Amino acid sequence: ESNPHLSTPDDQIVHIDLQKGARTPDFAEPMRELSHGTLNFLHTTDTHGWYLGHVNQKQYSSDWGDFISFAEQLKNCTAIEGGDLLLVDTGDRHDGNGLSDLTFPHGQVSETIFMNADYDLVTVGNHELYEASVSRYEYENMVPHYGPRYISTNVEYLKDDNTWTIFGNSTHRYFQTEINGYHVLALSFMFDFTGGNERVKVTPISEMVKKQWLSDLLSYYSQNKQVDILVVFGHLPVSHQWTEAGLLHHYLRTFFPDTFIQYFGGHSHIRDFAMYDNRSSALQSGRYCETVGFLSLSDFTSVETADSEVHRRYIDFNLHSFMHHTGKNTLSSFETDLGSSVSRRIASAAREMRLSDSWGYVPHNFYMSAADYYNSHDKKSLLRFLQDKIITQLKPELCELKGRQPLYKNTHNNSRSILINSGSIRYDLYKGDFTRNALFTVSPFSNKWKVVPNVPKDIAAQIQGILNAGDYIITGASTSRKHLPDLLSPYQKATNARVASAKMLNSHLDGGIPSMSRDQHVLHPIDTDKKSLSYGYVTHDDFGVYGDDTIHKELPIFRVPNVIASFEGGANSTRTPYTDLVFYDFIQDHILWALKVACGGNVKLYNDLAGNVSYYNDCSSKYNVGHLLKKYVQDHWPYK
Ligand SMILES: O=c1ccn([C@@H]2O[C@H](COP(=O)(O)O)[C@@H](O)[C@H]2O)c(=O)[nH]1
């Protein structure tokens, strides 16, 4: 690689500090600068345990130790220019990476790595709320570690003495910044999450705005205290389409009509920036340690002065970006003692967990939304690959239920269709070693498999179509599925929304180019030399298309289906007219809903089918999608 920094004696250190097998970034990539203000923020969200970095992707190959060095160095840089720097995290710190998911509870080791970062504001995400053991660990370790800096305004925790308390140190934090002495009032709100365990409670924003105690608190601060800025951070998307964000902003403005409000969001895993009015802005900083969000403000304290200056950057999570923005050109001058000790700690945790054990070599990248599932020739579609090659390896087997339930046998040679929700697929599969870590990154969920046996073929053939159809069918059906969890992840929903808006824009401009990005239509100085650019984020937000620090070529995006479905015909000669419908237990309610729709008025048929649902394979730690992938890699892509 042409890397001026690595030609120094320091190059050896690069290889020590990047985690095992990790690729060095391209230090020649073109970069947009940060513009410092008097109040600056670094924001992370939805890290999901990726503290090891993305070893197969040079663009995101830094680890959490590098991030800690970056934050420390940037704090020095902004201080020299007379600015404060605050660090903010908006939750979801596990589920999706071996480092966090190989321990019980999830996050037991990875949280201790995360906690080395000196956050000023930390809060809880929905992934801290699914499992009671995880919520307890978070409440008993992370909350005391960050003390007054860990807050939540609308999430509560049930303590052992059976009393409810706020999930954090307080509902708010009021403090002064170190350098400029700004008076900050911080609040934290999570989206309306209903899937939590029995020890947690989320009060939706629509209910919060009616709470007397909250209105008393806001009145008190607005009338009795100096508030230079309201910082509202939480596990909640910042998009204009997310109605809870608009409701919250409208409510806060009734107490603080002129105060600058800075929002930080998360959950939908995208890079995003929005302006809600001319004295507020909102930043969302992606996912999985791919992005560090940077936001700076100047002239924001008084409505009388000139317009506030707002600047945002989405920083790629690699050493090139981190060193560039802190003006360091050797690794030894960049790394801090704490940063390098955290890198070493991660390496030893990864060794203990054997995260880099690998079973074969993935020959090329497979993409969830950057390849077209609907094009059967698109060899890079992860969803099509999973559908055609991976889930078809499933066999009936019982683990927990062994001896308690008969093992399913396809005695009549039925055909078989296996369905999974696309939301269970969390990340692309990249070219390179298929490691233990990849078992968790592509699909971390430990779901079990169920079967509806003997479904008439014409009924079975409709299920995927019904589940993938647009909302108009769903709301029009007599049996609404509104109460059911989303089949898509929030990220996939955001992707589909982007595809839809790009289609609208394209059809408006030139008669319709399916699934092309808007970047095609934006005149951009760097478009002239796209060949030399690498693929990566090109973010479209309320400020335009220049927010990403590294100048990339944009990957195409394609619509993601709600569910994917394999179909295996069985041997022709003796095939029955029935199909066994096999699916992840997470989507059982959806399957039954779709079955009911497909059965139409034939209530008896539906009742007979639904009454026969049983476990097909309950060995989740051996047969979930991650493990089926591993089996395929061992059989088809072993090391030579
Ligand atoms: O067991 C599970 C749990 C969740 N999902 C999918 O994930 C989203 C939730 O997204 P988060 O970003 O994790 O909050 C849910 O809607 C499902 O699509 C799953 O497939 N299996």
pLDDT, one tens digit per residue, over 368-392 is 999 999 999 999 999 999 999 999 9
Closest atom of ligand 1 to CA, residue 269: 12
How many helices (DSSP H) and strands (DSSP E) are in the chain? 21, 23
- For residue 56, the CA-to-ligand 1 centroid distance in Å is 24
Residue 615: partners with Cβ closer than 8 Å, 6 or more residues away: 398, 401, 405, 408, 448, 449, 450, 451, 585
Residue with tokens 């026969």: 612
For ligand 1, atom 10, the nearest C-alpha belongs to 489
Q: Which of 59, 48, 52, 61 is nearest to 90 (CA)?
A: 48
Question: Which residue CA neighbors atom 4 of ligand 1 most closely?
Answer: 424
pLDDT in tens, 418-463: 999 999 999 999 999 999 999 999 999 989 999 999 999 999 999 9
Q: Which of 194, 424, 584 to mutate to test the pocket of ligand 1 (most atoms within 8 A of CB)?
A: 424
Count the neighbouring beta carbons within 10 Å of the beta carbon of residue 253.
Answer: 17
Q: What is the mean pLDDT of residues 271-278?
A: 97
Q: How far is the CA of 488 from the centre of ligand 1 (A)?
A: 7
pLDDT score at 360:
97
Judge whether residue 158 has pLDDT over 70: yes
pLDDT band at residue 571 using 50, 70 and 90 as cut-offs = low
The mean per-residue pLDDT over the stretch 576-593 comes to 96
Q: Encode pLDDT of 27-72 as tens digits.
A: 999 999 999 999 999 999 999 999 999 998 999 999 999 999 999 9
Percent of the chain with pLDDT over 70: 90
Ligand 1: residue whose CA is nearest its atom 8: 489
Beta-carbon contacts of 625 under 8 Å, excluding residues fewer than 6 positions away, are 386, 390, 391, 420, 424, 425, 442, 443, 445
Is the torsion defined by CA of 110, 115, 120, 123 positive or negative? positive
Residue 475 confidence (pLDDT) above 60:
no
Q: Distance from the CA of 424 to the center of ligand 1, in angstroms?
A: 6
> Which residue has better confidence, 254 or 527?
254
Nearest to 609 by CA among 581, 585, 583, 576: 581
From 489, 564, 591, 624, mutation site for ligand 1 pocket: most ligand atoms within 8 A of C-beta: 489
Confidence of residue 118 (pLDDT cuts 50, 70, 90): very high
DSSP assignments along 212-265, one per residue:
HHHHHHHHHHHHHS--SEEEEE-SS---TT-HHHHHHHHHHHHH-SSSEEEEEE
Q: Could you identify the atom of ligand 1 that is nearest to the CA of residue 46? A: 12
Global pTM reads 0.92
pLDDT over 90 (residue 505): no
Kindly report the protein residue whose alpha carbon is nearest to atom 6 of ligand 1. Answer: 423
Question: 431, 476, 422: which is closest to 597 by C-alpha?
Answer: 476
Instruction: Indicate whether 141 pLDDT > 80.
Output: yes
| pLDDT of amino acid 427 | 97
Are 83 and 39 contacting, i.e. CB atoms less than 8 angstroms apart? yes
Q: Name residue, tokens 């140190």.
A: 169
Q: Is the pLDDT of residue 522 over 50?
A: no
What does the alpha-carbon distance between residue 262 and residue 276 come to, in Å, rounded to a whole number? 10
Ligand 1 pocket (Cβ < 6 Å) reads 126-127, 421, 423-424, 445, 447, 485-490, 586
Share of the chain above pLDDT 90, in %: 85
pLDDT at residue 569, rounded to an integer:
86
| Among 421, 451, 427, residue whose Cα is nearest residue 439 | 427
Given a contact cutoff of 8 angstroms between Cβ atoms, the answer to whether 549 and 31 are in contact is yes
CB count in 10 Å sphere of residue 473: 14
pLDDT tens figures, 288-333: 999 999 999 999 998 876 678 999 999 999 999 999 999 998 999 9
Q: Does 623 have pLDDT greater than 60?
A: yes
Q: How confident is the model at residue 20 (pLDDT cuts 50, 70, 90)?
A: confident
Backbone phi and psi for residue 582, each to the nearest 5 degrees, phi listed first: -115, 140
Query: What pLDDT, on the 0 to 100 scale, is given for residue 472?
Result: 33
Instruction: Judge contact between 34 and 47, C-beta under 8 A.
Output: no
* Cβ atoms within 10 Å, residue 119: 19
Q: Tell how far the Cα of 321 is from the centroid of ligand 1, in angstroms.
A: 31
Residue 421 CA: nearest ligand 1 atom is 20
pLDDT band at 634 (very low <50, low <70, confident <90, very high): very high
Residue 114 backbone phi and psi in degrees, to 5: -55, -45
C-alpha 372 – ligand 1 centre gap (Å): 22
The protein residue whose alpha carbon is closest to atom 21 in ligand 1 is: 424
DSSP annotation of 541 reads B
Q: State residue 18's pLDDT score.
A: 76
586 CA distance to ligand 1 middle (Å): 9
Task: Give the containing element (helix H, strand E) for 344.
Answer: helix 337-352
Mean pLDDT throughout 71-84?
98
pLDDT band, residue 17 (cuts 50/70/90): low
Predicted local confidence at residue 363, as pLDDT: 97
Q: Are 143 and 168 contacting, i.e. CB atoms less than 8 angstroms apart?
A: yes
Nearest CA to ligand 1 atom 18: 423
CA of 447 to the centre of ligand 1 (A): 11
Cα 3 to averaged position of ligand 1 atoms, centre (Å): 40
Interatomic CA distance for residues 214 and 217, integer angstroms: 5
Using the mean position of ligand 1's atoms as its centre, give its distance from the Cα of residue 12 in Å.
41
Question: pLDDT band at residue 254, thresholds of 50, 70 and 90?
Answer: very high
d(Cα 587, Cα 420) in Å, to the nearest integer? 8
pLDDT score of 302: 86
DSSP 165-224: EESSSBSEEEEE-TTT--EEEEEE---------TTEEE--HHHHTT-HHHHHHHHHHHHH
**Residue minimizing CA distance to atom 2 of ligand 1:** 445
More confident call, 287 vs 511: 287
- CA-CA distance, 436 to 433, in Å (whole number)? 10
Instruction: Please tell me the predicted confidence (pLDDT) of residue 88.
Output: 99
Query: Minimum mean pLDDT among 186-200, 277-291, 507-521, 532-546: which range?
Result: 507-521
What confidence category does residue 544 fall into, taking pLDDT thresholds of 50, 70 and 90?
very high
- Per residue in 325-367, pLDDT (tens digit) is 999 989 999 999 999 999 999 999 999 999 999 999 999 999 9
Å from CA of 129 to ligand 1 middle = 13
Output the six-digit token pair for 400: 């927990």
pLDDT at residue 479, rounded to an integer: 52
Question: Could you write out the three-class secondary structure of 106-135?
Answer: CCCCHHHHHCCCCCCEECCCHHHCCCHHHH
Please give the Cα distance from 501 to 495 (Å, whole number). Answer: 10
- Ligand 1 centroid distance, CA of 564 (Å): 15
HSE-CB of 336 using CA atoms within 13 angstroms: 20
Residue 471 banded pLDDT, cuts 50, 70, 90: very low
- The label of the residue with tokens 């890699």 reads 633
pLDDT at 11: 46
Which of 426, 492, 586 has most ligand 1 atoms within 8 Å of CB, for mutation?
586
Dihedral (CA of 240, 244, 247, 252) sign: negative
Task: Say what the pLDDT of residue 8 is.
Answer: 39
Distance CA 346, CA 65 (A): 8
**Ligand 1 mean position to 73 CA, how many Å?**
36
H helix or E strand, kind and range, residue 7:
none
b/e for 393-406, b at 16 or more Cβ within 10 A?
ebebbbeebeeeee
pLDDT band at residue 514 using 50, 70 and 90 as cut-offs: very low
- Predicted confidence at residue 483, as pLDDT, reads 66
